[in-house]
Amino acid sequence: MSYQINLGQWNSIFAVPSSLVDRHIKLASESQLKVILYLLRHSGEPISDESLSKALSIADSEVKNAVDFWIERGLITESGEELIPSAPVEKAQTQIVPEPIKAPQPEVQKHTAISRATRPDSVFVARVMNEDKNLVGLLDEAQTVLGKPLSPGDTATLVMLYSTFGLPCEVLALLINYVASTGSASIRTVEKLGIKWADDGINTVEAAEREIGRMTESREAWGKVSKLLGIRSIGNPTKAQQEYAYCWTVTWSFNDEMIVEAYERCVNTKGEYNMRYINAILKKWYEKRIFSLDALAQEERKSPKPKPSSKGSVFSSESASFDIAKYENKSLFDD
């Protein structure tokens, strides 16, 4: 079969659709990008699988997979013996003057939705595994590390992260080992983290190792804080728990005494343990550069003493050496 993109009068300018970069570049593999760029550069010329394979130094099967990838994403469509743009090229090319740069807008379509729609079937999985023996090795390692055989759905998920989301086998191996180290043997957890890594551009061994180091520090920080405050953890800590603990102990570098003091003030004032309120107290101390109980006592001696409430507590509805409500209503890292 031969491929030919018919761009008419635009053959001489090597047009590249904006959506290729805006929507698909994160998901496309190296071979998929090579194929689409080569086809666009040689638009109007009949190109066979064999010539593409030879020109790009990739296997014939990879060429076919790459063409299918771009057809599935609606960038090109197949019409007889030709590949044609899915949308009129003239419309995209009439904008000679570049548009003003706009602030990034939230993506309407999330990768989690893509993953549900594009999880490969058994035929595609078998074909990819036959083409890349490293992937077979990864699946064998995943079974060993997770301590259980992979179901067809588990295998399809890992193949999806590899082929659709572009995470190399080495990066996936690091991800699987990290998930197992947390006490979880869930491919669903691997999938969620893998999609997030793809979104965040964590697709090299170096970037993966840095992210694993950060996540490990966050888990260890929560372990320290929960033990310090006598909080019993059931199951894995939440993302919020880890982020708060990491912020308090690593980012803001508070010692144990200050964290306990903030906890006790929270319980005395709110009547309950509330991480957001504790964070509001610590954030205010951090902004005032108060990192010890002595410094805190000196600061509070400068401030007017709060009036006792009708119940005799020094923490009346209007009393506090600073406005906690303003900080409590902010997110963790708001300025």
What pLDDT shows up at residue 84? 59
What pLDDT shows up at residue 114? 42
Q: What is the pLDDT averaged over residues 324-334?
A: 50
Specify the fold of 2-88. Answer: Arc Repressor Mutant, subunit A (1.10.10)
Residue type, 173: A
Closest CA to 325 of 278, 277, 282, 291: 277
Select the more confidently predicted residue: 30 or 61. 30
Q: What is the pLDDT averaged over residues 229-252?
A: 82
The angle formed by the CA atoms of residues 91, 20 and 77, to the nearest 5 degrees, is: 70
Q: What is the pLDDT averaged over residues 97-123?
A: 51
Q: What is the pLDDT averaged over residues 32-42?
A: 84
Q: Is the pLDDT of residue 255 over 80?
A: yes
Helices (H), 57-93: 60-72, 89-93
Select the more confidently predicted residue: 82 or 260. 260
Top mean-pLDDT range of 32-41, 92-101, 288-297:
288-297
- For residue 266, the tally of other CB atoms under 10 A from its CB is 24
Q: Is the pLDDT of residue 333 over 90?
A: no
Q: What is the pLDDT averaged over residues 179-207?
A: 90
Q: What is the pLDDT averaged over residues 122-148?
A: 88
Q: What is the pLDDT averaged over residues 34-50?
A: 81
What pLDDT shows up at residue 174? 95
- For residue 119, the tally of other CB atoms under 10 A from its CB is 16
Scanning the structure block, which residue is given the tokens 């009036």?
A: 307
Select the more confidently predicted residue: 255 or 334. 255
- What pTM does this model have? 0.50
Are the beta carbons of 224 and 245 closer than 8 angstroms?
yes
pLDDT, the chain, mean: 77
Top mean-pLDDT range of 4-13, 126-135, 266-275, 283-292:
283-292
Q: For residue 89, what pLDDT band results from cuts at 50, 70 and 90? A: very low
Q: What is the pLDDT averaged over residues 201-205?
A: 93
What is the DSSP code (8-state) at residue 5? B
Q: What is the pLDDT averaged over residues 29-46?
A: 82
What pLDDT shows up at residue 86? 52
What pLDDT shows up at residue 311? 44
Q: What is the pLDDT averaged over residues 115-141?
A: 81
Q: What is the pLDDT averaged over residues 110-119?
A: 48
Q: Is the pLDDT of residue 244 over 50?
A: yes
C-alpha to C-alpha distance for 283 and 333, rounded to whole angstroms: 9
Q: What is the pLDDT averaged over residues 175-199?
A: 89
Q: Where are the domains of the chain?
A: 2-88, 118-202, 214-328
Q: What is the pLDDT averaged over residues 82-88?
A: 54
What pLDDT shows up at residue 10? 56
Helix, coil or strand: residue 8: helix
Q: For residue 234, what pLDDT band results from cuts at 50, 70 and 90? A: low
Helices (H), the chain: 18-19, 30-41, 49-56, 60-72, 89-93, 111-118, 122-131, 133-146, 152-163, 169-181, 187-200, 205-229, 239-246, 256-270, 275-287, 293-302, 324-328
Least confident piece of the model among 107-121, 125-139, 188-202, 240-254: 107-121
% of the chain surpassing 70 pLDDT: 71
